[in-house]
Amino acid sequence: MKRQLITTFAVAVCCSLFSWAAALPVIPAPALVTEGEGYFEFDGSTKFAVENVEQLDVARLFTSRFGESAGFVPAIEIGGDGDVVFATDATLPAEGYKLDVSTGGISIKAADTAGFFYALQTLRQLLPAAIDGSEYAPGTRWQVPVMQVEDSPRFGYRSLMVDVARYFMPKNELLKLIDIAAMLKINKLHLHLVDDTGWRIEIKRYPKLMQVGAWRMHRDEVFPARPNQRPGEVPNEGGFYTQGDIREIVAYAADRQIEVIPEIEMPAHTSSSLAAYPELACPVVDKPITVLPGGGGKNTQIIYCAGNDSVFAFLQNVLDEVMALFPSKYMHLGGDEAVKTYWGICPRCKARMEAEHIDNLEDMQGYFMKRMSDYVRSKGKIPMGWDELTNHELPEGMVIYGWRGFGEAATKAAAQGHKFIMTPARVLYFIRYQGPQWFEPYTYFGNITLKDVYEYEPIRQNWKPEYADLLMGVQASMWTEFCRSEADVHHQLFPRLLAAAEVAWCSRGEKDWQGFLHRADAVLPHLQAMGIEYARSMYNIDHKLTPVGDGKVQVEMSCIRPDVEIRYTTDGTDPVAKSKLYKEPFKVKKATVVKAVTFRGGEQMGQVLTLDVAFNKATGREVTSNVANDYVLTNGLRGSDRHSDFEWAGWYAKDGSFVLDLGKRTSIKRIVLGCINNSSMGVHIPAEIKLSVSSDNKTFKPLATKAYSHEEVFRTRTAIEDAVFDGLSASARYVKVEFTNPGKCPKGDFKEGQDTWVYFDEVIVE
């Protein structure tokens, strides 16, 4: 055993216990850390002494990591003396631990197996990252610092949801995620096993669920733009977990103190099972029922028939097999996003409503979910569901997941005395962009940065005090609509899962964003050693270009990391470490290519941001409209083909207009309006655009009109499509743009029956 003293610790520390705990390179941050001097080093002579077989299994998971990377495996004995000693302390809280590291040995105390496991995860993160690799690392010193740690979690429910229905994650990939989640002290894995896009678990009683429901058509398009299966096509993409696979996954997770919670969706998100057994749909369904490759359009309205008793028998039989495979005390029943179109016209559903004295379709879903929830409870399990279930009377004992917006619907459940879990889409849905969208893989909606996740506080200030007592914990939800590979999942999950783990474990207190980043920088190499290519979005630059009103544009740049420099150029060349340092917003008054990138210690950290600022007679001029971000119309910067990239001004389900002030009477020969179409998201060019001009902003004279046919508006495509007005001859100070919304998406469209968005990114006047 090597025992030496050192005078400095590997990370910068402060005098107070709180700040030193925050500086310890561990995520989640331990509650209390006392600094010592020196280190303890593991080597071939290190011996663990444990009290029982359960502790031995926990210790073995840890010591086995040394085999490939260090070339030795510490010995473990039940009873006796050792260099690392486990001792039960029943006074400690559940999952909590005390860790005492000296130069001569390590003492670990906990009240339960989980506490011992988490103490070892703290040590794991403090060891060199090679401990998590598969290559021999000769010459590495396997050291941890001398210290005392007292730690326990804030929430008992700390969860990761993985959607294996949209992207079927092979078993070994899932096991890798389980190992990482365990390192981060996450103790629940919620498996979304069923959706319109695939059935992912073997049910022996219903073989067509695997033969039919587990397979869909491969499509190259992004998720919302994927066409449904056509007649004659043979599904060629998918897969499912055998019951043997499930047992292995559950056991692997249990060894790492993770409870696996299955989700079987109902009554909606069920095209995969209905493709296999179409007789379970309402008899009035007038569309082919197939496993959906993507968004599915109106086909997602095909759901289980609530008036058919065979549906409930089928689901009970399915749940019997599922619950036998998962020892978890929880069973998630879904219950979200059920469009009840067919229920409203189905004779069976109408008969059910009459027989059960049900007045509306929402209460019909309440009947459906209560019936299935009662069955789950009869089997000794606790039912769970999404927050749409608060739209009707909640089933007894139901645990609600708050997801819509900031998850506030879950408090409706709390008001009725139900327990709940927070997984708000606006903060913890990792399907969203995690950085400046121009650098990110294509996905949905807006941004959720690493900082957004870290700063999330689950308990809202407007809650009644009793709601906090019913909050079980939080969940990071990894929806996989846009994932086609393990690397895609990794990019969306990491490093945001580190921040989510911190939110779930650490006590409420003052946030230390800079301290978290320093700790994340130390932990992320462990993920790299495991083959995880995490996103580096936190190093990329956000921008905001704002017209000043006098023909100039102000350029503002920022990065969520406060420990980097932004270096930039305005001559079109890529920045280097000695390029101009960005300190404050600056103005440009002519066509300029601004390039910027982050540096730290002279090393480039992010990707190069290119802002091609083009000038015309409208650039830098004022625009008046009824949307908040109308400044993007004259800021000289074109948007990307993502209407959510913050360079597009949008109007939803209504006609619109805006007025451009050119500052003085100006000759106008040509006007171009930047438009975008994304039919899969209900974004379309206007049906008509009218231009008019004025000298006093009161009396406007018509200038030009452009109309688009129904076919032109609703062609299937994603593209930037400028509206060009040539051959104009006018002189005016003000230009008014009025446009007509094209109305609801037509039959056969991706968003059939839904209202449309109209977006503009730039007004170009020549």
Condensed to tens digits (0 to 9), the pLDDT of residues 119-131 reads: 999 999 999 999 9
Residues 133-149 have a mean pLDDT of: 97
Rounded Cα distance, 1 and 365, in Å: 65
pLDDT at 510: 87
pLDDT of 147 higher than 70: yes
Contact present, 492 and 430 (Cβ < 8 Å): yes
Between strands 553-558 and 542-547, the pairing is antiparallel
Q: Which helix (H) or strand (E) holds 334?
A: strand 330-334
DSSP assignment of 228-270 equals: PPPTT----EE--B-HHHHHHHHHHHHHTT-EEEEEEEESSS-
Rounded Cα distance, 686 and 709, in Å: 10
pLDDT of 332 higher than 70: yes
Place of tokens 């945001």: 496
Q: What percent of the chain clears pLDDT 90, i.e. is strictly above it?
A: 96
Rounded Cα distance, 668 and 660, in Å: 13
Q: Which helix (H) or strand (E) holds 48?
A: strand 47-50
Report in angstroms the alpha-carbon separations of 239 from 171, 211, 212, 448: 11, 9, 10, 30
Question: What is the torsional sign of CA 260, 496, 32, 461?
Answer: negative
Rounded Cα distance, 672 and 650, in Å: 17
Residue 100: strand, helix, or coil = strand
Whole-angstrom distance between the N-terminal and C-terminal Cα of the chain? 79
Rounded Cα distance, 605 and 693, in Å: 48
Active site residue 337: yes
pLDDT of 673 higher than 80: yes
Rounded Cα distance, 290 and 392, in Å: 30
* Strand partners of residue 598: 566
Nearest in space to 299 (alpha carbons), one of 680, 750, 685: 750
pLDDT of 210 higher than 90: yes
The Cβ of residue 154 has, within 10 Å, a number of other Cβ atoms equal to 19
The Cβ of residue 86 has, within 10 Å, a number of other Cβ atoms equal to 27
Contact present, 738 and 692 (Cβ < 8 Å): yes
pLDDT at 3: 32
Contact present, 13 and 23 (Cβ < 8 Å): yes
Rounded Cα distance, 653 and 758, in Å: 8
Assign domain 157-508 to a CATH class: alpha beta
pLDDT of 449 higher than 70: yes
Domain ranges of the chain: 3-151, 157-508, 540-612, 622-765
Q: Which helix (H) or strand (E) holds 194?
A: strand 194-195
Burial of 107 (0-12, 13-18, 19+ CB in 10 A): middle
pLDDT at 20: 44
Place of tokens 């903060």: 427
CATH number for the region 622-765 comes to 2.60.120.1190
Q: Which helix (H) or strand (E) holds 188?
A: strand 188-192
Would you identify the CATH topology of the domain 3-151?
Chitobiase; domain 2 (3.30.379)
pLDDT tier at 69 (50, 70, 90 boundaries)?
very high
pLDDT at 611: 98
Which residues are within 8 A (CB) of 462 and not within 5 positions of it... i.e. 6 or more apart?
Answer: none
Report in angstroms the alpha-carbon separations of 8 from 34, 38, 278, 559, 661: 14, 8, 68, 32, 63
Q: Which two tokens stand for residue 113?
A: 């197996």
Contact present, 728 and 703 (Cβ < 8 Å): yes
pLDDT of 647 higher than 50: yes
Residue 396: strand, helix, or coil = coil
Q: Which two tokens stand for residue 547?
A: 């017209």
- Average pLDDT of the chain is 95
Place of tokens 């060894």: 255
Q: What percent of the chain clears pLDDT 70, i.e. is strictly above it?
A: 97
pLDDT tier at 420 (50, 70, 90 boundaries)?
very high
pLDDT tier at 22 (50, 70, 90 boundaries)?
low
pLDDT at 213: 98
Rounded Cα distance, 420 and 469, in Å: 10
- Amino acid, res. 23: A
Chain centroid to Cα 148, Å, comes to 35
pLDDT tier at 8 (50, 70, 90 boundaries)?
very low
Rounded Cα distance, 337 and 425, in Å: 14
Residues 731-750 have a mean pLDDT of: 96
Burial of 600 (0-12, 13-18, 19+ CB in 10 A): middle
pLDDT at 192: 98
Active site residue 195: yes
Rounded Cα distance, 95 and 112, in Å: 6
Residues 370-382 have a mean pLDDT of: 98
pLDDT of 739 higher than 70: yes
pLDDT tens, position by position, 384-399:
999 999 999 999 999 9
pLDDT tier at 549 (50, 70, 90 boundaries)?
confident
pLDDT at 491: 98
Contact present, 736 and 692 (Cβ < 8 Å): yes
Would you identify the CATH topology of the domain 540-612?
Immunoglobulin-like (2.60.40)
Contact present, 510 and 536 (Cβ < 8 Å): no
Going by the DSSP 8-state scheme, the letter that residue 643 receives in this structure is: T
Residues 50-76 have a mean pLDDT of: 97
Q: Which long-range contacts (CB under 8 A, 24 or more apart) does 235-240 make?
A: 235/290, 235/291, 237/293, 238/168, 238/198, 238/214, 238/291, 239/168, 239/170, 239/198, 239/200, 239/214, 240/168, 240/198, 240/199, 240/200, 240/201, 240/202, 240/209, 240/210, 240/214
pLDDT at 445: 86
Residues 190-207 have a mean pLDDT of: 98
The Cα angle at residue 594 between residues 592 and 597, in degrees rounded to 5: 175
pLDDT at 38: 96
pLDDT of 2 higher than 60: no
Rounded Cα distance, 620 and 631, in Å: 9
Which residues are within 8 A (CB) of 572 and not within 5 positions of it... i.e. 6 or more apart?
Answer: 593, 595
pLDDT tier at 748 (50, 70, 90 boundaries)?
confident
pTM: 0.95
Going by the DSSP 8-state scheme, the letter that residue 52 receives in this structure is: S
Of the candidates 190, 269, 418, 491, the residue annotated as catalytic is 269
